C-alpha cells in the first residue's frame, strides 16, 4: 500500500471509481481493523460472497430494434422523485472510512438525485446530516431501552426525514471472525452519535448510579441488540409514526406478507450483506418469492451484493422497485470523501443507463421479467 502521506495527497484526486480497484484503494487508506469491519461477513463469509455470485449468475435476454436514443432512469418512491431507483443503504460508523462520514455520503447521494438512509449508529447526528440530504430516510433498531429508539425517531422526524427503516435481522450480532481476530470493538473504535442522544444520556446517567464505571460504549452494547423484538414491537413502531415505514431484513415470503398486513409501506429484502449468517439464502434468491407474496401491495426494495449497474438492472427486471447500495459507497467515501462516494454512485448510474440501452429499455419500467433469460447454477 501507499504511504500515509502519498495516500493523503491523492485523497479525492482520482476521477473514476472502479470496483474492485476502489476497494483495494480504500483498503490502502484505512486501518486494517476498520477495513475488516466494513468488508467482513459472518462465519466463513460464504454468505457474503454468495450474495454477489448469485447476482452475477443472472443472464439477461435483450430486446432488439427498440429506439433507445432517449433514455431515463428516473422513478419515484413514496411520492418523491429519484434520478434512479438507487439509494444508499444504512451503514453505521462511517467515520471509520473518512472524517466527513455520513455528511459526505448523504451529500453525494443527494447531489445525484439519489436517496440516502442514515443508520441509527451513524457517526454524525441526523441534525448534521439531514441538511446535506433533505428528506433522507432514518434507519432504526428497536433497542432494549425502547425510549432511545423513540427519541431517535422523534429527532429524525424533526430533522425532516421522509421515511423510517426498521431493521429486523439483528436479533443477535453475527459472528464475524475478522473483528474477533482484530479484537475490534466497534463502539469504542468510532463512538456513534447516538451516545449523545438526550434519552440515551439520561438512561446512562441513571445506570451509572449503580455502576459508576459504565462507559457509553458498554451501555450501548447492553441495549443493542434486543433478541426479544417481535411483531408487537413492529406494530408499536407503526403506531408511532405517520412516515412511510420500511421493514429491512426480510427473506421469508410469509414474513413479507405479515409485514404488509401489519401496515408497512415497503419491504427491503436483505441479508445484511452477509454480515449476520453464512448459511442464509442469498438475497437475490429470496427476492422472487417475496415479490410473489407481496404482489403489488407495496414496493419491494433490495440490498446485499449489488456491485454494478448490470446487477441493478437484473434486480429491477426481477421486479424490485429500487436497490440499496452498501459497501461500494464506503470504498468511495474512504477513497475521496464526498467526491469519492459520488464517483462510486455515478459509476452505478452510468452502468445502469448503459445496460438499459443494451437491453432495449428506455425507462426503468421497461425492465421486467421478459428480460430474465436464465439463472445459471453456481
Strands annotated E in the chain? 58-60, 75-77, 80-82, 86-88, 115-118, 137-140, 163-167, 245-250, 266-269, 300-303, 322-325, 372-375
Tell me whether residue 119 or residue 199 sits nearer to ligand FNR (CB atom). 119
Residue 300 cell numbers, joined:
419491494
Report the residue number, 273 or 336, with the smaller CB distance to ligand FNR.
Answer: 273
Catalytic site residue 272? yes
Cell numbers that stand for 113 in this block: 438525485
Using the rule CB under 6 A, which residue among 109, 220, 306, 315 binds ligand FNR?
A: 306
Does position 182 bind ligand FNR by CB under 6 A? Answer: no
Q: At what angle do helices 32-39 and 21-29 cross, to 10 degrees?
A: 140
Q: Which residue minimizes CB distance to ligand FNR?
A: 326
Among 47, 273, 319, 340, binds ligand FNR (CB under 6 A): 273
Omega of the bond prior to 101 within 30 degrees of 0, cis?
Answer: no
Task: Give the integer Cα–Cα distance in Å for 96 and 227.
Answer: 27
Which of 17, 34, 55, 91 lies at the binding interface for ligand FNR (CB under 6 A)? 91
Of 305 and 309, nearer to ligand FNR (C-beta) is 305
Q: Which three cell numbers stand for residue 297?
A: 401491495
Which region among 11-19, 223-231, 304-312, 362-370 touches ligand FNR (by CB under 6 A)? 304-312
Establish if 303 lies at the interface with ligand FNR (CB under 6 A). yes
Q: Which residue has the cell 472502479?
A: 18
Q: What minimum distance in Å lies between the beta carbon of 7 and ligand FNR? A: 20
Work out how close the CB of 52 gets to ligand FNR at its nearest, in angstroms, rounded to a whole number: 7
DSSP 39-97: H--STTSHHHHHHHHHHHTEEE----S---SS-B--EEETTEEESSSEEEPP-S-GGGT
**In whole angstroms, how close is the CB of 366 to ligand FNR at the nearest point?**
25
Q: Is 121 in the site for ligand FNR (CB under 6 A)?
A: yes
Q: How far apart are CA 236 and CA 213, in angstroms?
A: 33
Contact 361, 81 (CB under 8 A): no
**Contacts for 74 with CB less than 8 Å, ≥ 6 apart:** 81, 82, 83, 84, 364
3-class SS of residue 167: strand
| Min CB(192)–ligand FNR separation in Å | 9
Q: Which is nearer to ligand FNR, 27 or 272 (CB)?
A: 272
Active-site residue, selected from the candidate residues 272, 280, 311, 354: 272
38 binds ligand FNR (CB under 6 A): yes
Q: Does 89 bind ligand FNR (CB under 6 A)?
A: yes
Out of 309, 326, 332, 336, name the contact with ligand FNR by CB under 6 A.
326
Active site residues: 272
**Interface residue list for ligand FNR (CB under 6 A):** 38, 89-92, 119, 121, 139, 167, 248, 270, 272-273, 275, 303-306, 326-327
Amino acid at each position: 500500500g501507499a504511504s500515509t502521506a502519498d495516500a493523503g495527497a491523492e485523497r479525492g484526486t482520482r476521477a473514476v471509481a472502479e470496483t474492485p480497484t476502489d476497494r483495494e484503494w480504500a483498503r490502502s487508506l484505512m486501518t486494517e481493523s476498520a477495513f475488516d469491519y466494513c468488508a467482513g461477513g459472518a462465519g466463513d463469509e460464504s454468505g457474503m460472497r454468495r450474495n454477489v455470485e448469485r447476482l452475477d449468475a443472472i443472464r439477461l435476454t435483450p430486446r432488439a430494434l427498440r429506439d433507445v436514443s432517449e433514455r431515463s432512469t428516473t422513478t419515484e418512491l413514496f411520492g418523491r422523485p429519484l434520478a434512479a431507483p438507487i439509494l444508499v443503504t444504512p451503514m453505521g460508523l462511517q467515520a471509520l472510512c473518512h472524517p466527513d462520514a455520513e455528511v459526505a455520503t448523504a451529500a453525494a447521494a443527494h447531489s445525484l438525485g439519489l436517496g440516502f438512509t442514515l443508520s441509527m449508529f451513524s457517526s454524525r447526528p441526523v441534525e448534521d446530516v439531514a441538511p446535506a440530504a433533505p428528506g433522507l430516510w432514518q434507519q432504526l433498531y428497536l433497542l432494549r431501552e425502547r425510549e432511545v429508539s423513540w427519541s431517535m425517531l422523534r429527532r429524525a422526524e424533526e430533522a425532516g426525514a421522509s421515511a423510517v427503516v426498521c431493521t429486523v435481522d439483528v436479533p443477535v450480532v453475527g459472528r464475524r471472525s475478522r473483528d474477533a481476530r482484530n479484537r475490534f470493538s466497534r463502539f469504542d473504535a468510532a463512538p456513534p452519535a447516538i451516545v449523545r442522544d438526550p434519552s440515551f444520556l439520561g438512561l446512562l446517567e441513571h445506570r451509572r448510579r449503580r455502576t459508576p464505571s459504565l462507559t457509553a460504549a458498554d451501555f450501548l452494547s447492553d441495549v443493542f441488540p434486543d433478541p426479544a423484538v417481535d411483531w408487537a414491537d413492529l406494530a408499536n413502531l407503526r403506531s408511532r409514526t405517520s412516515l412511510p415505514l420500511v421493514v429491512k431484513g426480510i427473506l421469508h415470503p410469509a414474513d413479507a406478507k405479515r409485514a404488509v398486513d401489519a401496515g408497512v409501506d415497503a419491504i427491503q429484502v436483505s441479508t445484511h450483506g452477509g454480515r449476520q449468517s453464512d448459511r442464509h439464502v442469498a438475497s437475490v434468491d429470496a427476492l422472487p418469492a417475496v415479490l410473489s407474496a407481496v404482489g403489488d401491495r407495496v414496493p419491494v426494495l433490495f440490498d446485499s451484493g449489488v456491485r454494478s449497474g448490470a446487477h441493478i438492472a437484473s434486480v429491477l427486471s426481477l421486479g424490485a422497485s429500487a436497490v440499496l447500495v452498501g459497501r461500494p459507497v464506503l470504498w468511495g467515501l474512504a477513497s475521496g470523501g464526498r467526491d469519492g462516494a459520488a464517483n462510486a454512485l455515478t459509476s452505478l448510474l452510468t452502468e445502469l443507463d448503459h445496460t438499459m440501452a443494451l437491453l432495449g429499455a428506455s425507462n426503468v419500467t421497461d425492465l421486467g421479467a421478459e428480460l430474465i433469460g436464465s439463472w445459471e447454477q453456481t
